Chain A
Amino acid sequence: MTKYLLLKHYRGGPKPMPNSEAPMEDWTPQEISDHLAFMNHVADVLRERGEYVEGQALSPEGVFVRFDGEGKPPVTDGPFAETKDLIAGWMVIDVDSVERAHEAAAFLSSAPGKGGKPLQEWIEVRPFMTEPPVVTE
């Protein structure tokens, strides 16, 4: 059993498919509702299969922060309107195989968008680090 992070990006990754090019504000309110309902449905299905760990959506607002020496306030930079890669949210699943992780990601990517057509958004799939096995020799 391995945990995988399914990352949804606002920007970044391979070239978007035609169905996911229209920004959400161009959709009808019903299409937005249908999309969000589908996301909940995905979580429900994964939970029912005993595979769901967690999911979160991220605000696109964000800044970069770093240490600037003892006693000094943190230095911030941004927000950057044109960052190459922007993460929209994630889902964590705990599944039996990498094939199953890909299947779940494709399911997530089939969420309806404008015109009710599957968005075919690219979902980034990243395995979690595990514990080392006890028996190695």
Chain B
Amino acid sequence: MADLGDLLKGFGPQVLGVLVRRGGDFAAAEDAVQEAMIEALRHWPQAMPDDPKAWLVTVASRKYVDAQRSELARRRRELLDGDRPAPGPTEQVDDTLLLLFLACAPALTPPSAVALTLRAVGGLTTRQIASAYLVPEATMAQRISRAKASIRGRRLTEPGDLGAVLKVLYLIFNEGYGGEVDLAAEAIRLTRQLAAASDEPEVAGLLALMLLHHARRASRRTGEGQLVPLAAQDRSRWDTGLIAEGVEVLQSALARDRLGEYQAQAAIAALHADASSAEETDWPQILEWYDELNRITDSPVVALNRAVAVGEVDGPLAGLRAVAEVPADVPRQTAVRAYLHERAGDLARARSLYAEAARAASSAAEREHLTRQAARLHSS
């Protein structure tokens, strides 16, 4: 039974959701689900239950109640009826939303929320999450258990913070190492589940943003791992299926007429996806979206990206004037100036700025890319 692990990975969060929705304490319920999965690994190879999920819910509920009992006995207190998850229907979609609200509670630091989300909602093992973020398993286990401890006793009485959930899912998609776990695919899977449970257009906006960027994945690096900037990417390698889905999801979100930052970012990604070559990019429309995004977020990173669009629409000198408004400590500010100076024909200036940007780069791939840009101008 080679796929038992995968099967359980899918069931874990669902079963956890049932327990939590019935009023169980999140941390205790998570422990109970883990124990039920261990039971399943022991029993299922001999006799597979007809309804595996119901089996897991039953066993996990029993484990939960047992744990609550012994916990209470240890404290020499009476068993409180309210601590037993009440029987109820198992509605998977609502449960996902509930689990995400708990795992992404604003009280948690982003790394804690990321780890807990991948574990409790994504169903990944601690070892997989540790390897994805390049830390020892013991450290990741601590991070998860601290996260659980800080939301211990929390039941979902107040409405969850959807903005915090979206931020965590975006972090999982956008940052991290990956290793054996495909974090981007995991983030998309979770965001799809969330989108199925929520009508909020920003959820759809984030899903669209992820799909449209994921579509370019194959073209983002060369075979040797070198970064390929958007303008130089082989667009025939973009995943047209993902692009079509992303555009569709985005359009239905925009139709609800409640614009937010993820929808605006997705709109920009969609315009890039729509151009069959870099030259055909509709930069005036992209610039309009950056203006929109600027109004929503007031972020210096957006202001920097807007300056790139200004450079494409009104020429590199206008772009440089726009960059001058961006604080110097914004990452990639120097790289953007280098690019605009090159376009303006000041190659010596561009070269020294590329080299300066390379020294300040926070990722090895970007440093190599920028160093290569400086080297290209040196030898030209």
A35 CA to B308 CA in the complex, in Å? 53
A132/B227 contact (C-beta < 8 A), A49-B146, A96-B111 known = yes
Binds B, one of A14-22, A113-121, A123-131: A123-131
Contact A137 B363 (CB under 8 A): no
A130/B363 contact (C-beta < 8 A), A49-B146, A53-B136 known = yes
Q: Which residues of B contact A49 (CB under 8 A)?
A: 142-143, 146
Contact B363 A131 (CB under 8 A): yes
Other-chain contact of A137, B133, B138, B139, B230 (Cβ < 8 Å): B230
- Tell me if B277 is interfacial: C-beta within 8 Å of chain A: no
Contact B142 A134 (CB under 8 A): no
Q: Which residues of B contact A131 (CB under 8 A)?
A: 175-178, 363, 365
User: Nearest Cβ distance between residue B231 and chain A, in whole angstroms?
Assistant: 10
Q: Which residues of A contact B213 (CB under 8 A)?
A: 134-135
Interface size on A, residues (CB 8 A): 22
- Tell me if A54 is interfacial: C-beta within 8 Å of chain B: yes
Contact A135 B209 (CB under 8 A): yes
Segment 59-108 of A: residues with Cβ below 8 Å from B: 94, 96
Segment 239-278 of B: residues with Cβ below 8 Å from A: 265, 268-269, 272
- Tell me if A136 is interfacial: C-beta within 8 Å of chain B: yes
Q: Which residues of B contact A47 (CB under 8 A)?
A: 138-139, 142
- Tell me if B134 is interfacial: C-beta within 8 Å of chain A: yes
Contact A52 B227 (CB under 8 A): no
- Tell me if B238 is interfacial: C-beta within 8 Å of chain A: no
Q: Which residues of B contact A127 (CB under 8 A)?
A: 362
Other-chain contact of A53, B139, B362, B365, B366 (Cβ < 8 Å): B139
Other-chain contact of B109, A53, A54, A96, A136 (Cβ < 8 Å): A96
User: Nearest Cβ distance between residue B236 and chain A, in whole angstroms?
Assistant: 20
- Tell me if A133 is interfacial: C-beta within 8 Å of chain B: yes
Who on chain B is nearest to A127 by CB? B362
A49 CA to B141 CA in the complex, in Å? 10
Contact B305 A132 (CB under 8 A): no
- Tell me if A8 is interfacial: C-beta within 8 Å of chain B: no
Contact A137 B268 (CB under 8 A): yes
Give a binary string over B118-145; 1 marks a CB under 8 Å from any A CB, 0 the rest.
Answer: 0000000000000001111011101110
Contact B133 A94 (CB under 8 A): yes
Residues of B within 8 A of A (CB): 109-112, 114-115, 133-136, 138-140, 142-144, 146, 173-178, 184, 209, 213, 220, 227, 230, 265, 268-269, 272, 305, 308, 332, 361-367
Residues of A within 8 A of B (CB): 1, 3, 47-54, 94, 96, 127, 129-137
9 contacts between A and B (CB under 8 A): A1-B111, A50-B112, A51-B139, A51-B143, A53-B135, A127-B362, A134-B184, A134-B213, A137-B269
